[in-house]
Amino acid sequence: MIVRISRTGPVDATFEAPPSKSYTHRALIAGALAAGRSRIVGPLRADDTELTARGLEQLGVSIEWLPGEITVTGCGGTFPAPGEVTIDCGNSGTTLRLLTSAALLSRHPVVLTGSRRMLERPVGPLADALQALGGDVAFAGRPGFPPIRVSGRLRGGRTQIDGSMSSQFVSSILMAAPYADEDVELTLPVPLASRSYLDVTADVMLRFGARLERRGYDWFRVQSGVPYRGRDYRVEGDYSSASYLFAVAAVCGGRVAVTGLNPASVQGDRRFLDALEAMGCRVTADDGAVTVERTGDLQGVDIDMSSSPDTVQTLAAVAATAQSPTTITGIAHLQYKESDRVGVTAETLRRMGVGVAVTDDSLTITPAPLHGVLVDPKDDHRTAMAFAVLGLAVGGMAIREPGCVEKSFPGFWEALYGEGLL
């Protein structure tokens, strides 16, 4: 299947942000481990979050999807699966990583596997840290990569962890840590990738009743014996998904308002709005909506997006329509995502006529006259959405296998169609 995209603009559109994928994953896990019942209101129901819910159900947790909410009956910190289980995490790295530490709270071994691409995504640093905390992580194939078999016990104590590939390694341990035999103390000796996601993790943990201390992003301690408590929890809107909607205004001109976002959110992808503002857009927040407007030309920027990784491709698409070059830094870890996002983005922009220079940790985009191309997103939802947005400014664009957006933004194509953009 192919979606064809024609040039449009200027635009005047209002969208509702989909719920946060990151918050939904974490609320599911906290609710599953809690004592009592949790009601998660306004969750994201997408491929990735369904994989996390399914994995928790395999571990013995009762989860019910209802219109607009999820009911989770927690296990009180010990998963009641009757025997060894194998959890297929598909292409959801968040599911596999966050459930790896939680698997130590099962009475029986847990095998975690996934798609072909998942088996190429490293988990070695997480495995090393868990073994220091009492777990046993065995690799079924290539050392340091899934499939993995998790057994043993989360005893706790002190260890170091390398989070330069993914902050999810750290989030994984933190979320399971309230149920360790003793306090868990983590030191992060090297700079962390996507560090803002630890703010999301800490936010969910504290709201579900855990006790966590931290020193910035290089030291964390979670108190043992202070469990999660079942509660009603509302999921906020997703700035990562909203970035594509804001980018429509940036590349096409005009105005886009997005409702359902928390203006004070700790989500790192809020920084995408700062980038748009620096490039020449006007950004305002009032009456329950965040609005982006563009009336003049865009100018390139130099910006570090290490805490906003999921909007790097969106920003690259916007940068291709600016009047001067843009350099995006803090991107080295993007090669470990659903695809090699830097490589795919650079190759596609070059085919469209853009000048692109890539280093280990930077992407420089030099605008030039653009033409549409056929895009193969390599089953990566963010690639598909970023180039769909750019297609609205260029025309003649076609996106292959558009269903991959179901991973994080199931209503993406419908949202554009509803505003007359497709």
The pair of structure tokens assigned to 398 is: 């076609």
From CA 163, how far away is CA 240, in angstroms rounded?
A: 21
Q: Label each residue of 387-403 as H, E or C.
A: HHHHHHHHCCEEEECHH
Backbone angles phi, psi at 178, to 5 degrees: -60, -20
Q: Are 2 and 387 in contact (CB under 8 A)?
A: no
Contact 334, 306 (CB under 8 A): no
Per-residue CA distances from 414 to 232, 236, 313, 388, 405 (Å): 30, 21, 21, 13, 11
DSSP three-state, residue 193: coil
Distance, CA of 270 to CA of 113 (rounded, Å): 32
What is the rounded distance in angstroms from the CA atom of residue 321 to the CA atom of residue 195?
29
For residue 251, the Cα-to-chain-centroid distance in whole angstroms is 23
261-281: string of b/e by CB count within 10 Å (b at 16+)? beeebbbbbbbbbebbeebbb
**Residues with Cβ within 8 Å of residue 415, at least 6 apart in sequence:** 15, 245
SS3 call for 312: helix
Provide the token pair at 269: 């992808």
351 CB-near residues (< 8 Å, 6+ apart): 373
Q: Is 296 exposed, middle or buried (0-12, 13-18, 19+ CB in 10 A)?
A: exposed
**3-class DSSP state for residue 237?**
strand
* DSSP letters spanning 32-62: HHSBSEEEEES---SHHHHHHHHHHHHTT-E
Based on the residue annotation, tell me whether 310 is a catalytic residue of this protein.
yes
Of residues 251, 256, 248, 293, the one with CA closest to residue 422: 248
**Which one from 310, 376, 379, 380 is the annotated catalytic residue?**
310
Task: Compute, in degrees rounded to 10, the torsion defined by CA atoms 4, 7, 9, 11.
Answer: 10
Written as six digits, the tokens of 294 are 């563009």
Active site residues: 310
